[in-house]
Structure 1
């Protein structure tokens, strides 16, 4: 599939082609879906899947092939969640009460990549900040932290990541949000 070199995203015509291809899958019977799987993925489809499940899996695989699949950390997290669910089901089937599963922390955030644009409205004005390799730029000035940028925009002390929506919002009544 053709991609844009700067972002890795599909070009508009390639995205439309992918949409049409996935929409057309709904018209295929089970044999047609298996045939399309072999044509597009160059492998044998899973043999025991129902038509509905094969359709969903094929659509996912086509999208992942064109747009990119899950990152490694997310795939590992989903595998751990699935293993934990199977373990708990097996314990319940044996009649044992399963202990509460320990919370699985989310994968670490990949961080902000240089070139990312952060946009925030404040006091009726839109503010755009560009992430640099060693800081941030706003209105042709460079800052070392998002908190410095937030302070320059608002005139008050803010947690920069929270100001730009990169952190969870505080609980209601949590002290004003700064």
Structure 2
């Protein structure tokens, strides 16, 4: 069991950090995922894909956290506020681009962000991403297409110095 789970931990942490936007919450999410996988290992199919199963557990836990957060509000520790408010270290161009991409990912709706991360970052197939998310493959493909297009728009706007409309593109009347 541990031989099959341990190699997945870095990918699970990467996906969790991108989903949760908070390293501590992401680590807690991965811990919960590992605990759930180990305690329910008997439910894992022998012929099943362990990677897909683990990402499914992680994603479902993240969705539960998002739903709970809507009722509770956002929790911010004093340490997080202090670091963000008072530290401005010099950034390299590479770090700035990475920050732009991460900020653009955060602007995507949760369903699009999840698909983009699973397919583009974690290299899951469309079929595996569909299993993780519990949606049809066609839905994965359309969300991925919309998510990539939206990322492109956001990043193009950031490169031009324009501010993106958080509600999406404005509608235009065509006669």
TM over 0.5: no
Instruction: Output the TM-score relative to the length of structure 1.
Output: 0.26
Taking structure 2 as the reference length, the TM-score comes to 0.26
Q: More strand per residue: 1 or 2?
A: 1
Q: Which has the higher contact order (CA 8 A, sep 6+)?
A: 2
Higher helix content, 1 or 2: 2
